[in-house]
Every structure is written in C-alpha cells, then in structure tokens.
Amino acid sequence: MALSYKTRKRLSFLILLVGLPVYVLVAVAVVNLFDRPPIWLELAVYVALGIAWALPFKAVFKGIGRADPDAPPEE
C-alpha cells in the first residue's frame, strides 16, 4: 500500500524530529558501552550508523522536497 504525499511528509517530520534524536542517543550509548576506541574507528562507527538509520526510511523521504503531486494545478 503506497502512502500519500501528505502522509509521507508528516511521517518524515516525525522521524526527523523524534526518531533521529532518539537514534543518536541510542548510538552514543551503545558506543559508550565499550572502552573508547581510537578516534578513526569511532568516526567510522558513527558514519556507518548515520547511514544505516536512513536506509529503511528511503521510501518515506523520497520526493518530499518537491511540490505535492496530488494537489490540483495552480493557475
């Protein structure tokens, strides 16, 4: 079932405003469970986690910056 443009836009705002900060806190907490690794390894882990969070939501974010395709044309 495809989501409408309005639903995807609202869901993307929810993900960015609530989900992303929670994900950042969880990622930092998980990395802090271990002794501090070298800075290059820590950076690599954060970059990988930063990419990994967005992959499941690719379909939600796709096309959000464009005009609403379901809206009636303006004159």
- pLDDT tens, residue order, the chain (75 aa): 678 888 888 998 999 899 889 989 988 888 888 888 888 988 888 888 888 888 888 888 887 877 777 777 776
Cα separation, 65 vs 45, whole angstroms: 29
Establish if 13 belongs to a structural domain: yes
73 occurs within a structural domain = no
Q: Which residues have a Cβ under 8 Å from the Cβ of 49 and sit 6 or more positions away?
A: 23, 27
Question: How would you class 61 by CB atoms within 10 Å of its CB: exposed for 0-12, middle for 13-18, buried for 19 or more?
Answer: middle
Q: What is the pLDDT of residue 14?
A: 92
**Whether the Cβ atoms of residue 31 and residue 42 lie closer than 8 Å to each other:** yes
Whether the model clears a pTM of 0.85, i.e. scores above it, the answer is no
**Which residues form the domain of 11?**
5-60
Decide if 74 is inside a domain. Answer: no
When divided into structural domains, the chain yields a total of 1
Residue 75 falls within a domain, yes or no?
Answer: no
Task: Note whether residue 47 is domain-resident.
Answer: yes
Tokens of 28: 């930092």
